[in-house]
Structure 1
Amino acid sequence: MSIDFEIPTEAKAIREKVRKWVHEECIPAEKELDSKPLDEVLGKLRKKARAQGLWCPFVPKEYGGMGLGPLANALVQMELGESMLGALSMNTQGPDDASMMTILEHGTPYQKEKFLKPLLNGEKRICFSMTEKAAGADATGMQTSAVKDGNENYILNGEKWFSSSASVADMAMVMAKTDPDAPRHKQYSTFLVELPNPGYKIKRNIKNMAIEGPHADVIHGGHSEIEIRDLKVPADNLLGGEGNGFNMGQHRLAYGRLRHGMHNIAKAQRALDMAAEHVTKRSTFGVLLADRQAVQFMLADCASELYIGRLMLLHIAYKAEKGLDLRQENSIAKVFLAHMVHKVIDTAIQLHGALGFSQDTPLAKWYTQVRSQRLVDGPDEVHKWRVGRNVIKAYREHGTTASAAGGDLL
C-alpha cells in the first residue's frame, strides 16, 4: 500500500486554469498599472475572472463562490501569489478573505446581508482592527473597551495599530474588551463597523521599509494607526456573541497565516524562475552562470526549501480536509515559509547581481515586502515558543515528541 499524493482531477483542472489566468492575464496587467488607473485595470480583470467562474475560491457556491475545499483552495492560492494582482482579481485578497470566512461562519442573517454580501460581490473592502501598540503580539493585552449603552448600542474607545487596509476599507472588524472580569480569553468581542465613521479615525498610514508603488494601499493593504473615540456600534453588529472575539480572531488569523504561506510559495517560485532564466543567459569570464557549480548549489538550496514548503502546506490542507487539529503544523509552516521566501528572493537578487539590487526587476520590491512575513499574524518567536511548548507537552504525555513533530504522518 502506498501513500497517495494524487491530486483529484477536478482540483488539478482548477489549478491549471488559475495558473493560466495568472500568467496570461494578471502578470501582463501589472505592466498596465504604470499608465492606467488601478480601478480600470482591476475592474477589467475582475469582470473577466467572474465570467470564467474564478471568484472567491473558498466561498460556498450558494454564496457566489467557487466552493473549493482546503486542498483545492491551497492549490489555487499557491498560484495566485505569483502576481500582485492575482488574489485581488479573484476577490480572495487579505485581509478581506479571512473576514469573509468569519462572517460566513458566525454572522447573523442580517449581518450576512448587510456586510458579507457586498464583500462577496467585490463592491466593498473590510479591514481588521485587533492589534494595539501596548499589546503587540499578545492579543489578550488589548485595552480598547466596548461598553453597552442600554440594549441598543455599544460605545467603543481605544486605539488600534497596523490595521490592515483601513485606508481603503468601507467597513471594519473591530475587537474590543466587553468584560474585563471574565477569564482572559473570554473578555473580548468583535464588532462590524460601517466606514467612514467619526468615531473611527485614521490618524496616519504607518510608513514601513517596503518599497511601495502608487497603488500600494489597495494592492498590498496599507497599515493604519486608528483612534477610536465614542464609536457607537449597534448591538446588531456584534459578531458571534459576547466573549467570543478572541477565539474567532485566532481562527481568522490561522487562515491568514496559511494564505501568506501559500502566496509565499508562489512568489518564491516566480523568483526562482527568474533566477534560472537569468543564469541560463548570462555569462561571466566566458562561462555561462548556469554551468557554475556554485550557482547550481544556490539553486538547489532554493528548490529544496520550496519542496519542503509545498509538502508542509499539502499536509496542512489534508488535515483541514479531515477536520483535524492543525495548530502545531500551522505555526511550524508559518515560520518556515516566511524564511523560505526571504531566502529564495535573496538568492535570486544575488544571482542577478546589480540588476537584482535595482528596481528594474520586482525582486528588490519583493525583498522589502516579505520581511514583514516574520512579524504579521504572530512573530516568529511567539510561534516558536508555542511549538516548543507543545514539544515538551508531547514528551510528558507520551514519552516521545513525535506527535509535535509531524509524527502523525507515520
Structure 2
Amino acid sequence: MSIDFEIPAEAKAIRAKVRQWVHDECKPAEQRLVAGEDYKTVLAELRAKARAQGLWCPFIPQEYGGMGLGPLANALVQMELGESHLGALSMNTQGPDDATMMTLLAHGTEHQKEKYLKPLLNGEKRICYSMTEKAAGADATGMQTRAVKDGNENYVLNGEKWFSSAASVADIALVMAMTDPDAPRHQRYSTFIVELPNPGYRIIRDIETMAVHGPLTEILGGGHSEVEIKDLVVPAEDLLGGEGNGFNMGQHRLAYGRLRHGMHNVSMAQRALDLATAHVVQRETFGKLLKERQGVQWMLADCAAEIYKARLMLLHIAYKAERGDDIRQENSIAKIFLANMVHQVVDTAIQLHGALGFSLDTPLAAWYTHIRSQRLVDGPDEVHRWTVGRNVIKAFERNGTTAAACGGDLL
C-alpha cells in the first residue's frame, strides 16, 4: 500500500500552461519594460492575452469571471507566477489586491460587490489594505485609528496608517478602525471601503526601505505608504462585514497572503538556484570548473533540500485546505520556513556568483534586499514562532504528545 502523491491531471495541465505563459509572455514583457516601453501599454497587452487564454484571477469562482481553482491548483499556479514580477500582475492575482478581493467576495454586500469588487475583478482598478499602524506594529489589536458614527448615514475616521502596500497605485482602500473601544479585544475593529483619491485619506509619503528600487517599483505597486486619516467620511453602506468583524476578516485575509508570499518564494528560490547552477557549470577558477568542486556541490544540495521541503510544505497545506481542515498551525510554520528558505537560497546564489552576485548585473542582489521583508510582513517570525510554540504546549496538554502540532497527522 502506498500514499498517493499524484497531482490531478487537470491541475498538472494548468500548471504547465501557466509555466509556459510565464516563459513565453511575462519574461519577454519584462525585457520590453527594461527597454523603455510604456508600462501601462505592456501590461494591458499582457492582460488581454492572458484573459483570451483563460488565465485570469486563478482562485476567484468562475461565476465571478475567475478560473475557479481550488487551493492545490492555485498553489501550483502561484509557484510558477513568482518567476516573473509581471507573472501575478498579468493574471490579476497580485498582492495585496488578491487577498483583499477574497475579503470582498466573502463579506461584501451585493451593492459592494457590484460597485467595488467588479472593477477589481476586471482589472480596471487596484485596492490596498490599510491596517498596520506605527504604534501597534505586529499587534493588530493595538490599532488606534477610530471610526465614530455620525448619525445613521456616515462614519468619520481619524488616525494614521503605516506601510500600506500599493496605496500609491490604489483606487480603493480597505481601512480598519476601532468602532467600539469597550468591546472584547478582537471585536473592537471594523473595516471600511474607501474610494480614492479622498481628501480624508492622505498619503504622506512612500516609505524608503532597504530594498533596491528600480524605475518601475512604485508603478508596479511596490511602494509602502504612510497615510494620514483625518475626518475621513465613509457612508454606512461602505462598512464591510458588519461592526466588530474587522479583526477576524483581516486575519483570514492575511492567512492567504502569507501563503501567496510563500508560493512566490518557492519560484524565486528555484530561479535563483537555476541562475547559480548555470553559473557554476561554466565558471572556471584555478584550472577547474566550479561545478567540480565538492564544496560547491554541497551548497547546491542544501538549496535543493530547502526548496524540496518548501514544496512539500505548501502542497500539504493545499491538501488540508481542499478538505476544509484547520491550517493555522501549518500556515504559521510555513510562513516562517518559507521566508527564511528563500533568503538562504538567494544568499547562496549570490555567494556562488561572487562579486557578480553582489552587483546589480543579475537580479539576485535586488531580490535579496526585497525578500528581507518576508520575515516581517504578515506577522514577524517571532510572533508566528510564539503562536506555534503555544500550540505545541496545547497539543501536549490535550493529547499527552506534541505530534498534532508538528505534522503528526499529515494525511
- Matched letter for residue 152 of structure 1: E
CA distance in 2, matches of 1:129, 1:402: 37
CA distance in 2, matches of 1:13, 1:150: 55
CA distance in 2, matches of 1:218, 1:80: 19
- Matched letter for residue 304 of structure 1: A
Aligned to 2:391: 390
Shift of 1:28: 1.7
- Matched letter for residue 266 of structure 1: S
Matched, 1:359 2:360: yes
Q: TM-score, normalised by structure 2?
A: 0.99
Shift of 1:219: 2.4
Matched, 1:190 2:181: no
Shift of 1:218: 3.2
Write the deviation string for residues 108-158 of structure 1: whole angstroms up to 9, x where unpaired: 000000000000000000010000000000000001000101111000000
Aligned to 1:59: 60
Matched, 1:12 2:5: no
Shift of 1:31: 1.3
Aligned to 1:154: 155
Aligned to 1:122: 123
CA distance in 2, matches of 1:332, 1:301: 20
Structure 2 matches for 1:10-409, cutoff 5 A?
10-34=10-34, 35-409=36-410
**Aligned-residue CA RMSD in angstroms?**
0.7
- Matched letter for residue 335 of structure 2: K
CA distance in 2, matches of 1:210, 1:335: 20
CA distance in 2, matches of 1:221, 1:344: 22
CA distance in 2, matches of 1:130, 1:146: 13
Aligned residues: 410
SS at match of 1:172: strand
CA distance in 2, matches of 1:219, 1:11: 29
CA distance in 1, matches of 2:219, 2:56: 18
Q: Runs in 1 of length 4+ with deviation above 6 angstroms?
A: none
With 311-320 and 25-34 compared, the bigger mean Cα shift is at 25-34
Shift of 1:220: 4.7
With 40-49 and 184-193 compared, the bigger mean Cα shift is at 40-49
SS at match of 1:372: helix
Q: What residue ranges of structure 1 are gaps of 5+ in the alignment? A: none
Shift of 1:41: 1.4
SS at match of 1:25: helix
CA distance in 2, matches of 1:255, 1:390: 20
Contact 2:169 2:221 in 1 (8 A): no
- Matched letter for residue 50 of structure 1: R
Shift of 1:33: 1.1
Write the deviation string for residues 193-245 of structure 1: whole angstroms up to 9, x where unpaired: 00000000000100000001111123253100000000000001010000000
- Matched letter for residue 74 of structure 1: A
With 279-288 and 135-144 compared, the bigger mean Cα shift is at 279-288
Shift of 1:68: 0.2
With 325-334 and 209-218 compared, the bigger mean Cα shift is at 209-218
- Matched letter for residue 30 of structure 1: E
CA distance in 1, matches of 2:366, 2:16: 27
Shift of 1:189: 0.4
With 40-49 and 78-87 compared, the bigger mean Cα shift is at 40-49
CA distance in 1, matches of 2:221, 2:18: 20
Q: What residue ranges of structure 2 are gaps of 5+ in the alignment? A: none
CA distance in 1, matches of 2:306, 2:406: 18
CA distance in 2, matches of 1:27, 1:355: 21
- Residue 267 to residue 351, structure 1, CA distance change in 2 (3 Å): same
- Matched letter for residue 231 of structure 1: L
CA distance in 2, matches of 1:263, 1:273: 15
Q: TM-score, normalised by structure 1?
A: 0.99
SS at match of 1:42: helix
Write the deviation string for residues 7-45 of structure 1: whole angstroms up to 9, x where unpaired: 000000000000000111111211111211211111111
